[in-house]
Amino acid sequence: MPTLAAPTANSVAPAVSSGSSPATAAKPAAPGTRAKAASAELKFPNTTADVVFVGYDAKNKLVEFQKVVQDPASPGAHLVPDPSDPAVHELPMASGAKVTSIDPGGFPFETCPPISCTADNIMESVIGHYNGAFYAHMHVNAADRIDSVAESAY
C-alpha cells in the first residue's frame, strides 16, 4: 500500500485562549450543518474516527468531513452519519500527513505520486474523484491536524 509523505515543516498547535469558558464555548451544530470552530479551539486532538470526506476548502486548506458509524439496522456494511455528531467538520492536514489507498496502484497515486504531491493535493483530488463520498479512517494529532488517512473499502 503506497504511503504519501507530504513535505515536512514545523507545525504549531493553535493557541488556546485563557479567556474561554463553557458559557462562551461553541454550541453543537444542527444536523446537516457545518461545525465552525474558533481558530483557537481544538476539536478532535489525539483521536481516530471513521469518516466520510465530503469536501475540500482549497482557499483555507481545510478538509471537510462527517463522522460515520455502522447502520445498526443494516445487515451489511452500510455507514451512516454518526447520530451523536451529525455535523460536517473542517480540519487542516498536518505537514507530513500520510494518505493510503486500498488500491496501491490506483487513483490518485497513478496521477499524483507521493513524491510530487502534498497531502492536501491528494485529499482535494480524491474527494473530488469520489464526488464528496470518500470513506476513510483518520487520525488527528495533538495539534488538531489530520496526520493519517487510510481509505476504507466501502
Give, rounded to a whole angstrom, the gap between the first and last alpha carbons of the chain.
17
User: For the ranges 64-73, 87-96, 122-131, which has the lowest average pLDDT?
Assistant: 122-131
Domain range annotation of the chain: 42-151
- Please state the rounded mean pLDDT for residues 33-55: 81
Distance CA 142, CA 134 (A): 24
- Asked if residue 28 has pLDDT above 80, the reply is no
Phi, psi of 121 (to 5 degrees): -60, -45
Q: Which residues contact 102 (CB under 8 A, 6 or more apart)?
A: 1, 151, 152, 153
pTM for this one?
0.70
C-alpha cell belonging to residue 20: 474561554
- Asked if residue 90 has pLDDT above 50, the reply is yes
Encode pLDDT of 94-104 as tens digits: 998 988 888 87
Mean pLDDT in the chain?
77
Distance CA 38, CA 17 (A): 10
Comparison of pLDDT for 58 and 108, the residue scoring more? 58
DSSP string, 44-94: STTEEEEEEEEEEETTTTEEEEEEEEE-TT-SS--EEE-TT--SEEEEPEE
Rg (CA), the chain: 16
